[in-house]
Amino acid sequence: MNSKIKFYNTLTGEKEDFTPINKDEVTMYSCGPTVYNYAHIGNLRAYVFTDILRKTLKYEDYNLKQIMNITDIGHLSSDADSGEDKMTKGLQREGKELTLKNMRWLAEIYAEKFFEDTGKLNIEKPDGIYFASDYITEDIELINKLKEKGYTYQTSDGIYFDTSLMPDYGILWGGKRTWNKENSRIEINSEKKQPEDFTLWKFDNKIGFPSTFGQGFPGWHIECSAMSMKFLGDQIDIHTGGVDHISVHHTNEIAQSECATGKKPFVKYWMHNEHVDTGGEKMAKATGNFLKLSSVIEKGIDPIAYRFWLLMASYRTKMNFNWEALMGAEVALKRLYTLYNELGNTIGNIDENHRNKFKEYLEDDLDTPRALTVLWDLIKNEKISNADKKATILDFNKVLGLGFENLKQETIPEEIIKLAEEREQARKNKDFKKSDEIRKKINSLGYEVKDSSDSYKISKI
């Protein structure tokens, strides 16, 4: 493997050489959606990012095993064990009784909607997708391990993790023990020993799952630790999620995983994508400041234009969404499609120079904006044959996922082809008057002929 990949690792705050724990298989865990409502286009950025990451690793010939969870047990799904519960809110909206069965019903509906959206964005499905509620036994086992090692304590409402017992708690956040004391989202719970201590198991006598600690629900963070360990092992290469997961969710995943196994680090490379803002504010369902992918489609915009727009910035750059920017991206994408369609039907060889450049940019922490400049440069390059351009674009498309493989060649009517042939003959005979007349006739029928040194191309006007 001659890969020279560098990834920005949130854990160290630096771009680092990527060397997987096991060279035969890269293990990656992606925090999945909480399925109580439609995803908004800001949420979907996280999955376009993991898709580019996934496809880049495969492009670089790594074997990859990527797992994603679906959070379908809502009781503690707010970031900091506080605030309104998302799944409960979803069931109330649907006018359904709060039961485990109904939670699953709701989750399956919105998981399907989620995959419809990701499919429209050409996002490949991870190798394993699992609902959290199917792995409660694994959560309980992990909590028991922490209990045996003395990391937990019980209050009247649940089992908590004692963060004071982990000297490097908060390392993802810069290793500061006082990091979230001022964080207003942490609710004051008088029974907690430290404000940053978090729930591993929350008691609920009405609708919870049975456990040795009493009926209840697992904390949100524990599902990702338990499922990551079950499917990928105690230590993994990459864990992805939005930047909003750094301070609480991922910090707590590290704490419970490393304390349970005694192995550090739980994750070698933590990778986080930035948000999409709209009107200067973070897109969020809680505030109502959000857009669904269906709103983009209803406006007549190709959803791939949204993917293309996202790729115009690094995944670590905050983006500000507005319709003008998206429509601009769509115009550029359609231009690429037109240029691609003009390349003809023959697929030649991949241009190695352009491929190397394209790879070099992706290897630099997935620099998609620069990778796109290679695509434009290639398509406009006069020294490369159309067939080779086509082969190279289809190769780049394995990572970019811009839909080139599905573009239909325009079918030109027989009458137009005949006229174009006649015109070409006239041109060869230097009968320019005749060739000009035929060109005008072709134009009047809605087509145009473009000449190159040794051939010509017909396209719709």
Which residues form the interface with Zn ion (CB under 5 A)? 31, 224
Q: Which is nearer to Zn ion, 186 or 224 (CB)?
A: 224
Smallest distance from Zn ion to CB 24, Å: 26
Burial 342-351 (b: 16+ CB within 10 A, else e): ebeeebeebb
Q: What DSSP character marks residue 452?
A: -
Nearest to 255, CA basis, from 222, 218, 217, 227: 222
Q: Which is nearer to Zn ion, 227 or 276 (CB)?
A: 227
**Two tokens, residue 322:** 């507005």
Write the DSSP string, 238-289: EEEEEGGGIIIIIHHHHHHHHHHH--S-SEEEEEEEPPEEETTEE-BTTTTB
Q: Which is nearer to Zn ion, 55 or 249 (CB)?
A: 249
Smallest distance from Zn ion to CB 224, Å: 3
Q: Which is nearer to Zn ion, 91 or 224 (CB)?
A: 224
Smallest distance from Zn ion to CB 281, Å: 24
276-278 vs 281-282, strand pairing mode: antiparallel
Contact predicate 6/61, CB 8 Å: no
Alpha carbon distance 161, 248 (integer Å): 13
Q: Which is nearer to Zn ion, 71 or 278 (CB)?
A: 71
Smallest distance from Zn ion to CB 94, Å: 25
Contact predicate 284/290, CB 8 Å: yes
| Cα torsion 349, 350, 354, 356: sign | negative
Q: Which is nearer to Zn ion, 31 or 44 (CB)?
A: 31
Contact predicate 251/283, CB 8 Å: no
Q: Which is nearer to Zn ion, 26 or 224 (CB)?
A: 224
Burial 171-192 (b: 16+ CB within 10 A, else e): bbbeeebebbeeeeebeebeeb
Q: Which is nearer to Zn ion, 31 or 391 (CB)?
A: 31
Smallest distance from Zn ion to CB 76, Å: 12
Q: Which is nearer to Zn ion, 43 or 278 (CB)?
A: 43
Integer CA distances (angstroms), 57 to 48, 64, 209, in order:
14, 7, 39
Smallest distance from Zn ion to CB 201, Å: 17
Smallest distance from Zn ion to CB 196, Å: 17
Smallest distance from Zn ion to CB 294, Å: 26
Smallest distance from Zn ion to CB 130, Å: 12
**Two tokens, residue 371:** 């990778």
Smallest distance from Zn ion to CB 229, Å: 13
Q: Distance between terminal CA atoms of the chain?
A: 48
Run of H or E residues at 100: helix 100-120
Chain centre to alpha carbon of residue 268: 19
Q: Which is nearer to Zn ion, 37 or 252 (CB)?
A: 252
